[in-house]
Amino acid sequence: MLDKREIGKRITFFRKERGMTQRELADLLHISYQAVSKWESGKSLPTVDMLYEISGLLDVTVDALLNENQWQNRGISYRESGLDVQKLYTLKREIEKLQTNDRNILSANFADACLFEIDTSQMKDPVYSCILCVPGSKEKLAKEYRYNREICADTAANAMNYILQHGMRPVLLKAMVLCGNYNQEQLYLMAQTFRQICDQNQVSFSGMEIAAQPVNYTPEEYTVSAMVVGVQDRDKLLTCDRLRKGDVLIGIKTEGIEGTSYPFVKIMLDRKPELYHAKIDGNVFFLDELMRANTAYTREIMALQEAGYLHMAFRNGHALLNRKTGDGGDSSISDLRAGHTLLNRKFWMEIPDGIGACIDLSAVPVLPLYRFLYEQDMIGEKVFPCHFSMGIGMIVAVPEKYRKEAMDIIRQFSECWCIGRIEADDGHKGEKFWSRGKISWPGA
């Protein structure tokens, strides 16, 4: 005699393994979902004809539904973890087609190591670099509000800029997404974004691997990373000993905010939830501006280097100044904290003795996003640039005599401003970085 409860349990198991709801199975069988519910709860049995229809829809044999021995010998499948392997590998093959058709990429199969060559035939002494970059706290807001393309572009740009600040040319990018059973259309768009940023910066795209882990991630969760490889001739590497007294500091505009500034923004959003739907100047949504991707400066840096104008490049972190420099007057950062300022600790330590970088705060632009943040009146005027980059993503040092030419080159690609210079450390003996003047806040 057939055991209704056991058969109901098997129908439930195979239905869930196929990712079907009771209503979806009922619709395919042209019956009510209450009938399916009764089978699965062991209150009734399907007819013989219906069993054959069910087995076809669930892609199992009738024996698998009725035979106890076959049920006991069943295995565990990926479907039970929530992963559709067939759909995943179909997507991976489509993403593989986005890879750069580059003879230097020898192999970039999504499930294997990337094999590649770099043409260094014109270099005397090539030096190589690589970095793995993740978006940081900004990723949380991106996932919640589906700024998926923006966070991928942001991650790619940041990875490239870490290499560019050494004067190195980024040549190859490999992306990775860890996720649950995430929306496949969105994953493809994320891969497309990585390819677009690579194309804009003349970087080979070696693909985006997807590690689907529904046992570790919910369907809406993911983590993005990007690895970038770079190369440059040793004598073209940017080091602080190239800096000279009188060099001008040019700030280059970036979009959005650095991921490490997100915690401050999150607190502001928690205090004023209405900001989630606010507009800047009644026109652009605040969240859209906030989540814009940072800019990759490959074209700017390489063009300046080719012209022979570039003495140094500083990737700006999440803040323009350290807390101690934010007092609005002539001040120093003898208590510099690594990674929180214009100059990270490594570069700060390497600036030659007798000179330092002076930022003229009155020359720093107040862009609409930062004016809006300032107007929320949660972060004081003096410390605001200690928490935000003010929209400056990279600062380059060039000789004064080439200032106009250098700015003309940069302006082919990005907005820029002259915001300071390298000066003798008179009055700041032994210090490497100080500021003068005040930011011209509207209405302040």
Q: Is a pLDDT exceeding 50 seen at residue 342?
A: no
Instruction: Give the pLDDT confidence score for residue 78 in this predicted structure.
Output: 59
Take residue 44 and report the two structure tokens written for it.
């009734």
Predicted confidence band of residue 325 (pLDDT cuts 50, 70, 90): very low
Looking at 97-183, list the stretches that DSSP marks H as alpha helix, in order from N- to C-terminal side: 138-144, 148-164
Closest of 130, 338, 164, 150 to residue 252, by C-alpha: 164
Predicted confidence band of residue 346 (pLDDT cuts 50, 70, 90): low
What value does the mean pLDDT take over residues 336-350?
47
What is the pTM (predicted TM-score) of this model?
0.79
Predicted confidence band of residue 269 (pLDDT cuts 50, 70, 90): very high
Among 42-51, 92-101, 327-336, 379-388, name the most confident range. 92-101
Predicted confidence band of residue 168 (pLDDT cuts 50, 70, 90): very high
What percentage of the chain reaches a pLDDT higher than 70?
Answer: 90
CB 301 within 8 A of CB 167: yes
* Higher pLDDT pick, 414 / 14: 414
Residue labelled with tokens 């080091």: 239
User: How many of the other CB atoms lie within 10 Å of CB of 345?
Assistant: 13
Closest of 290, 366, 330 to residue 137, by C-alpha: 290
What does each C-alpha distance from 59 to 12, 110, 194, 303 come to in angstroms?
13, 29, 37, 59
* Higher pLDDT pick, 79 / 237: 237
Q: Is a pLDDT exceeding 50 seen at residue 340?
A: no
The answer for residues whose C-beta is within 8 angstroms of residue 268's C-beta and 6 or more apart is: 275, 373, 376, 378
**Dist CA 204 CA 243 (whole Å):** 32
Look up residue 312 and give its DSSP letter. Answer: E
CB 45 within 8 A of CB 174: no
User: How many of the other CB atoms lie within 10 Å of CB of 142?
Assistant: 23
